[in-house]
Amino acid sequence: MQPEIEREVIRLAKSGDPRSYEPLVRAYEGPGFRLAVGMLGSVDEARDALQDAFIKAWQSLHRFDITRPFGPWFFQILRNQCRDVIRSRQSRERHEVRDEQIDVLPAGASSDPRRLHERSEASLILWKSLNTLGDEHREILVLKELQGFRYSEIANILEIPEGTVASRLYHARNALREALVATDAEYP
């Protein structure tokens, strides 16, 4: 969406017209979905988180600075929403009796990617390894590789300096490499 059009749409949405919010949702739900699936590893949870993030953004729209782009602000909200889901999932898992046969991957993570897209064996191993990483590592890899954001955009979303983005990416990629080694699978 062109920045001028985006600003106009936000201005209308800020005035309280829910229909004018639709172009924003349509424009950002695709990249938002990729970010949420990457962070949560589950399509259903990702869709719920995306919905909740759009609602939160709508409710906070009056605080949004119209001179800034909507994307980074919205992705920040979505990222926080995904983190809340992960925290809630962890607290849920603490209360559940864990079945030893249950996969360590989050629910749906092992089957969703397969259902979404027929991938090569290597990609599937990579996906599973990605889901074993810590939140911080997975988050930055998702922003860079699945979303294709530039360092400046990632820095904006994560509120860190650009130099830290490069350093975090190195550690995340190394962690992913180690996770791949741990699977004993041949990669690449």
Partner 1 sequence: MTNNVSHENLMRYLDGEASPEERAQIDAAVASSTELQRELVIFRSMKNDLHAMSFGLANDQSVWGAVHRRITRRLGWIMLIAGFAISGVYGSYLYFSSAIDAWEKLATAAIGLGILFLLGTVIYERRKEWRTDPYRNVYR
- Give the residue with the Cβ less far from partner 1, 9 or 169: 169
Query: Is 166 a binder of partner 1 (CB under 8 A)?
Result: yes
Out of 20, 106, 147, 185, the residue judged to bind partner 1 by CB under 8 A: 147
How big is the chain by its Cα radius of gyration, in Å?
18
> Interface with partner 1 includes 92 (CB under 8 A)?
yes
The distance of Cα 122 from the centroid of its chain, to the nearest Å, equals 22
How far is 122 from 108, CA to CA, in rounded Å?
A: 19
Residue found by looking up tokens 């990629």 in the block = 173
Q: Which whole-number Å values give the CA distances from 98 to 93, 104, 154, in the listed order?
A: 8, 10, 36
Q: Which residues contact partner 1 (rule: CB under 8 A)?
A: 18-19, 21-22, 25-26, 29-30, 33-34, 37-38, 47, 50-51, 54-55, 58, 88, 91-92, 95-96, 113, 116-117, 119, 122-123, 126-127, 130, 141, 144-148, 150-151, 163, 166-167, 169-170, 173, 176-177, 180, 187-188
